[in-house]
Amino acid sequence: MREGVSGGPLTRRELLSMIGMSAGGAAMYQAMSSLGLAADSGFKGPMQLSGAPTGAKVLVLGAGIAGLVAAYELRKAGYQVQVLEYNSRAGGRNWTLRGGDRYTELGGFTQDCKFDPGLYINPGPWRLPHHHRGMLSYCKTLGVALEPFMQVNYNAYLHSSRAFGGKPQRFRTVKADYHGHVAELLAKVVQAKKLDTAVSVEDQERLLESLREWGALDANLAYASGPLSNDRRGFQVDPGGGLSGKPVFSEPVGLSDVLSSGLWQALPLCDIYDMQSAIFQPVGGMGMVGQAFGRELGALIRYNAKVVDIDQDQRGVTVTYEDTVSKAKQTARADWCVCTIPLSILSQIPMKVGTPMALAIAACPYAASIKVGLQFKRRFWEEDEQIYGGITYTDLPISNISYPSTGYFSKGKGVLLGAYIFGVDAAEFTAMAPEQRVAKAVEYGARIHPQYHEEFDSGVAVAWHRSPFTMGCFGMWTEEARARHYENLCNFDGRIVLAGEHASYLPAWQEGALMSALDAVGRLHRRAVSGGTPG
Amino acid sequence: MREGVSGGPLTRRELLSMIGMSAGGAAMYQAMSSLGLAADSGFKGPMQLSGAPTGAKVLVLGAGIAGLVAAYELRKAGYQVQVLEYNSRAGGRNWTLRGGDRYTELGGFTQDCKFDPGLYINPGPWRLPHHHRGMLSYCKTLGVALEPFMQVNYNAYLHSSRAFGGKPQRFRTVKADYHGHVAELLAKVVQAKKLDTAVSVEDQERLLESLREWGALDANLAYASGPLSNDRRGFQVDPGGGLSGKPVFSEPVGLSDVLSSGLWQALPLCDIYDMQSAIFQPVGGMGMVGQAFGRELGALIRYNAKVVDIDQDQRGVTVTYEDTVSKAKQTARADWCVCTIPLSILSQIPMKVGTPMALAIAACPYAASIKVGLQFKRRFWEEDEQIYGGITYTDLPISNISYPSTGYFSKGKGVLLGAYIFGVDAAEFTAMAPEQRVAKAVEYGARIHPQYHEEFDSGVAVAWHRSPFTMGCFGMWTEEARARHYENLCNFDGRIVLAGEHASYLPAWQEGALMSALDAVGRLHRRAVSGGTPG
């Protein structure tokens, strides 16, 4: 655990954890960034396939987003489609836990979710950026209503157990003070004519003017207590009305304290492409997408079907699966197979493919992550602290506290995301029993919100490495592994093609799963109509 | 008109116009800032007055937010309250124009709003910041549902007719490139050890590390094309899935072009206290607040009552008003009067007060502003450009295009705010007939969204200087005028006290009106229970 170590800024690992990307440490972050995590998907509108060969059959393995999209498009194009799904519901990691739901993880721990009606958490994906056009388009087509996700909240906190005596700071003040000091430092360099001469005199003047506005500097180019800085960082006594309304100005935090706090590490979060507003969530939980697909595809999906063997020959694919209720084994056969089973599971299933694809399937470790949903007796974060949605970031192992972006101002109980844990901390939390994870999340969170002690009601905790249907959260490609294996992963092997977020440049995102499914389906269709040559 | 003048950054006036604060130019902006525009109101929870003297009567003039709040609290405390309101509805500037509404402005122009059911614009206030606790509290009490207002949208545009060939730029790229260049400039100064020695070596190291993260600099401290910058500014070809998903990186705009464009002037907008997320709007339009108060107060409000004379003596206040329908004159009498009539109107009404208050009433000019609502045949900004809510800023006279923060992804027609005009441009637009204002807004807007030509359906335009009930948008206190007159404006004059946004440190905001009403009501109550001494 990191808390309690005094002095010094957060380490890079801590930053990565804070921004929710640390699983594999810096190398992974670099790999993700360089390979496009955080990006528009290139979706150009609904797929228009037609003219499937008469009677052509496709087996789709897995009813997560990739499998659902593949099945939806293949059926539309005229294929006979069957989907085999391990769970008793559609969606896969697209999943919402609500009151009354029961979840049993590997190792046998069973949790009964006790949330009030209408309250939920999304153990998996929870956000739909405005540039994930594929996801937004399917939501529109399927009638899944969307509402804004409050990614950035200036009134939420940045918290370091080693800065400001462990007292959480409002995002607003850290951002204003960091910008202000950066602007002042650079403005004074410009004023002293110490800037590189490569910048023209005219540009230097414009730069100075821009820094003044942008950094809220005063007439002396100083970032100081007063109306300009307070118009960003907030006031000590806020302006009001009549005779009692005169404001009192707050005092910015000094440069050295801002820098040593390390809290600036969270500032770029609202600027990351994937997090930029507008960003949405389905009304009622992310699982509404999987549910809608499930309704749409109906009997095409065979639930409780655990794939145990994947075979193929020159003419087709034979999949053996076990009914998880009756334990009976059955087989299904089709001309083609779109396999969307996570590599963490697929690597354990006997499968007749060549060495290149087999090596690719084995090459991708999966991230551990944990989400903990906590129900409280009231929405104290709104009532006491005026935090309506958004995320508090902390260097404690819980990493995030995310306040619900729905039901604002409502009375009664409320559920927040009490932890979103990655990397080493996730391994530690995965090893705990669910109730211990919940207790730990409450213990840590109470250091930011003391109301936790009084108001805590119940919780659920999903550790993805113990999820029976994925055994991990998402595929973590290093740049090296991707360079070596990615094409082999995506290329057809005989009559089998893979899809899923692991087969995309948008790892961990539903849009990646969706786009990989469209790419795979498009290639499958071209093969099928050209006579089925598997080469 | 400003457009067409080539070269050079926007002037300060243009900046002020762009950010929606220019009416009185820089002096006003300074005054507003230094006096607390953009601030929390100091609201500390519902007012708890009780024990009004038996039979004590209060006349409230005006059923805008200040008058409604005053009447609500005074009734609760046990006073006999009557409200006189010029309009036939409650709310005042809290007002929503919907299809079927008719509005006649000074000069006689009548507009019939032809928007589709559910579509609207708010000619007056349109946003409720999370720190305007008074407004949020009354909304909760009155059952007015709130939804997030999308203030910042990284996919909306910044537009200058004099930069980038008049082509609008995505907010995302301007922000990323400005931050990146600022970070690179300062980082290189630090690296070259040219920073002021007042910054310790340790802090300089932390600064360098922070600039690298915050500015998305590469290993050479450069802001350059690649995964890091593209994770902020977006990609040229976005990452996708399967074999077709490899991203192509976009190229940042150079420092000189970023600076000369002047578009950086809009960057601080999301950081201004009043605009910081979370920020809300009532579901169905801002006018839902006035309507809810109107329902709540019922027969206490006398509508269509135009105040023509305000008299007082040692024992009470006598107000003469004209029924705007029957033209009959009547009088009302009470022990006290809370007058919330805008100063622009009040300064023209005979009123028995001493010189200090009379001078204060005359000292405050009112801002001109214009809002134009445009209905289009479809929501092309969402369908074609993936802009879901948020605001495009331009140096054209229309200043803002604001996309609706509700009904996202819906089919059918859509209404956006096609212009929000201040200052000199507002004077020019006020002089036009409403249909000309609409036509001009369409003409200018088409330079940003060419779809305007094809998709425009109908529009309405409210010029606040021609509004019969306010003759202006809001009171513009200079620092000097406030220093001289504000106390005299707020102090009791005999049995009369004033309230409204003009009597607050939050000019132009409903929260200012509300807080001034609470302040006035509190003082009135203390006087009344202490025996009515008016001194």
Here the CATH number for the domain that contains residue A389 is 3.90.660.10
What does the DSSP assignment read for A1-67?
Answer: --TT--SSPPPHHHHHHHTT--TTHHHHHHHHHHTTSS------SS-----PPTT-EEEEE--BHHH
Q: Indicate if A457 and A482 belong to the same structural domain.
A: no
What residue in A sits closest to B246 (Cα-Cα)? A505
Q: Indicate if A120 and A249 belong to the same structural domain.
A: no
pLDDT at B8 over 50: no
Cβ–Cβ gap B213/A260 under 8 Å: no
Residue B510 lies in a domain: yes
pTM of the model as a whole: 0.92
Cβ–Cβ gap A231/B33 under 8 Å: yes
Give Dmax over CA atoms of chain A in angstroms. 87
What residue in B sits closest to A340 (Cα-Cα)? B242
CATH assignment of the domain containing B316: 3.50.50.60
User: Which token pair is A116?
Assistant: 């009030």
Residue A534 lies in a domain: no
Cβ–Cβ gap A408/B42 under 8 Å: no
Q: Indicate if A399 and A512 belong to the same structural domain.
A: no
Which residues from B are below 8 Å from A273, CB to CB? 172, 230-234
The whole-angstrom separation of Cα B20 and Cα B395 is: 11
User: Which token pair is B458?
Assistant: 């109908």
Cβ–Cβ gap B503/A241 under 8 Å: yes
Q: Is the peptide bond before B278 cis (omega within 30 degrees of 0)?
A: yes
Q: Indicate if B410 and B439 belong to the same structural domain.
A: yes
The end-to-end CA distance of chain A, in Å, is 52
Per-residue pLDDT tens digits of chain A, which is 535 residues long: 233 323 333 343 444 444 443 333 333 333 333 333 333 457 878 888 999 999 999 999 999 999 999 999 999 999 999 999 999 999 999 999 999 999 999 999 999 999 999 999 999 999 999 999 999 999 999 999 999 999 999 999 999 999 999 999 999 999 999 999 999 999 999 999 999 778 999 999 999 999 999 999 999 999 999 999 999 999 998 899 999 999 999 999 999 999 999 999 999 988 999 999 999 999 999 999 999 999 999 999 999 999 999 999 999 999 999 999 999 999 999 999 999 999 999 999 999 999 999 999 999 999 999 999 999 999 999 999 999 999 999 999 999 999 999 999 999 999 999 999 999 999 999 999 999 999 999 999 999 999 999 999 999 999 999 999 999 999 999 999 999 999 999 999 999 999 999 999 999 999 999 999 999 999 999 999 997 554 4
Cβ–Cβ gap B242/A518 under 8 Å: yes
Q: Indicate if B361 and B376 belong to the same structural domain.
A: no
User: Which token pair is B248?
Assistant: 């192509």
Q: Which amino acid is at A341?
A: I
Sequence-ordered alpha helix ranges (H) in A192-240? 201-214, 227-233
Which residues from A are below 8 Å from B200, CB to CB? 256
Pairing of strands B369-376, B414-422: antiparallel
Cβ–Cβ gap A516/B267 under 8 Å: no
The whole-angstrom separation of Cα B181 and Cα A442 is: 42
Q: Indicate if A108 and A66 belong to the same structural domain.
A: no
Which residues from A are below 8 Å from B136, CB to CB? 409
- Please name the member of A203, A239, A519 whose beta carbon is closest to the beta carbon of B39: A239
> What's the half-sphere exposure (Cβ side, CA atoms, 13 Å) at A395?
28
Cβ–Cβ gap A247/B39 under 8 Å: yes
- Nearest to residue B514, comparing CAs of A529, A240, A122? A240
User: Which token pair is B51?
Assistant: 């024990």
Find the helix or strand (DSSP H, E) in which B91 lies: none
Residue B269 lies in a domain: no
CATH assignment of the domain containing B247: 1.20.1440.240
Name residue A280's beta-bridge partners. A128, A148
Does residue B458 come out as left (phi exceeding 0), alpha (psi in the -120 to 50 range) or beta?
beta
pLDDT at B532 over 70: no
A287-297 and A133-142 helices cross at what angle (nearest 10)? 60
Alpha carbon of B98 to those of B120, B143, B303: distances in Å?
Answer: 5, 21, 20
Mean pLDDT of B307-326: 98
Which residues from A are below 8 Å from B259, CB to CB? 203, 206-207, 210
Which among A408, A477, A519 is the top mutation candidate for probing chain B, defined by the most B β-carbons within 10 Å of its own β-carbon? A408
Which residues from A are below 8 Å from B265, CB to CB? 210, 213
The whole-angstrom separation of Cα A401 and Cα A445 is: 8
3-class secondary structure, A330: strand
Residue B214 lies in a domain: yes
Pairing of strands B279-282, B146-148: antiparallel
The end-to-end CA distance of chain B, in Å, is 52
Q: Indicate if B304 and B431 belong to the same structural domain.
A: no
Q: Indicate if A376 and A358 belong to the same structural domain.
A: no
Q: B344: burial class by Cβ within 10 Å (0-12, 13-18, 19+)?
A: buried
Residues contacting residue B248 through CB under 8 Å, at least 6 positions apart: B235, B236, B237
Cβ–Cβ gap B518/A241 under 8 Å: yes
The whole-angstrom separation of Cα B178 and Cα B226 is: 16
CB B370 within 8 A of CB B462: yes
Q: Indicate if B346 and B386 belong to the same structural domain.
A: no
Which residues from B are below 8 Å from A289, CB to CB? none
What residue in A sits closest to B519 (Cα-Cα)? A242
Number of domains in chain A: 3
The whole-angstrom separation of Cα B411 and Cα B402 is: 18
Cβ–Cβ gap A409/B140 under 8 Å: yes
Domain limits for position A514: 57-86+304-364+478-529
Number of Cβ within 10 Å of residue B237's Cβ equals 15
pLDDT at B87 over 50: yes
- Nearest to residue B40, comparing CAs of B509, B519, B491, B479? B509
The whole-angstrom separation of Cα B240 and Cα A295 is: 27
Residues contacting residue B220 through CB under 8 Å, at least 6 positions apart: none
Which residues from B are below 8 Å from A69, CB to CB? none
3-class secondary structure, B220: coil
Given this model, what pLDDT does residue A531 score?
78
The whole-angstrom separation of Cα A225 and Cα A218 is: 9
Which among A154, A217, A267, A504 is the top mutation candidate for probing chain B, defined by the most B β-carbons within 10 Å of its own β-carbon? A154
Given this model, what pLDDT does residue A44 score?
76
| Ramachandran angles phi, psi of B187, nearest 5° | -60, -40
Residue A484 lies in a domain: yes
Which residues from B are below 8 Å from A136, CB to CB? 409
Q: How far is A213 from chain B (nearest CA, A)?
A: 7
Residue A95 lies in a domain: no
Q: Across chain B, what does the average pLDDT equal?
A: 92
Cβ–Cβ gap B278/A211 under 8 Å: no
- Please name the member of A182, A206, A268 whose beta carbon is closest to the beta carbon of B182: A182
Q: Indicate if A426 and A394 belong to the same structural domain.
A: yes
Name residue B321's beta-bridge partners. B307, B330
Cβ–Cβ gap B515/A245 under 8 Å: yes
Cβ–Cβ gap A503/B265 under 8 Å: no
What residue in A sits closest to B216 (Cα-Cα)? A268
Cβ–Cβ gap A154/B277 under 8 Å: yes
Which residues from A are below 8 Å from B282, CB to CB? none
Which residues from A are below 8 Å from B29, CB to CB? none
The whole-angstrom separation of Cα B384 and Cα A34 is: 28
Residue A285 lies in a domain: no
The whole-angstrom separation of Cα B276 and Cα A360 is: 46
CB B233 within 8 A of CB B173: yes
CB B356 within 8 A of CB B77: no
Which among B30, B142, B202, B244 is the top mutation candidate for probing chain A, defined by the most A β-carbons within 10 Å of its own β-carbon? B244
User: Which token pair is A105?
Assistant: 């993880």
Q: Indicate if A416 and A399 belong to the same structural domain.
A: yes
The whole-angstrom separation of Cα A39 and Cα B236 is: 10
Using 50, 70 and 90 to split pLDDT, how confident is the model at B196?
confident
ipTM: 0.92
Last residue of a domain, which of A200, A233, A261? A261
Number of Cβ within 10 Å of residue B399's Cβ equals 26
Using 50, 70 and 90 to split pLDDT, how confident is the model at B38?
very low
Mean pLDDT of B269-289: 96
Cβ–Cβ gap B505/A203 under 8 Å: no
Alpha carbon of A368 to those of A20, A360, A474: distances in Å?
Answer: 11, 20, 8
The whole-angstrom separation of Cα A312 and Cα B229 is: 45
CB B96 within 8 A of CB B285: yes
Q: How far is A354 from chain B (nearest CA, A)?
A: 18
Find the helix or strand (DSSP H, E) in which B8 lies: none
Q: Indicate if B481 and B344 belong to the same structural domain.
A: yes
The whole-angstrom separation of Cα A177 and Cα A259 is: 10
Q: Which amino acid is at A178?
A: Y
CB A307 within 8 A of CB A486: no
- Sheet arrangement for strand A305-312: A305-312, A317-323, A329-334
Which residues from B are below 8 Å from A195, CB to CB? 185, 189
> What's the half-sphere exposure (Cβ side, CA atoms, 13 Å) at B86?
19
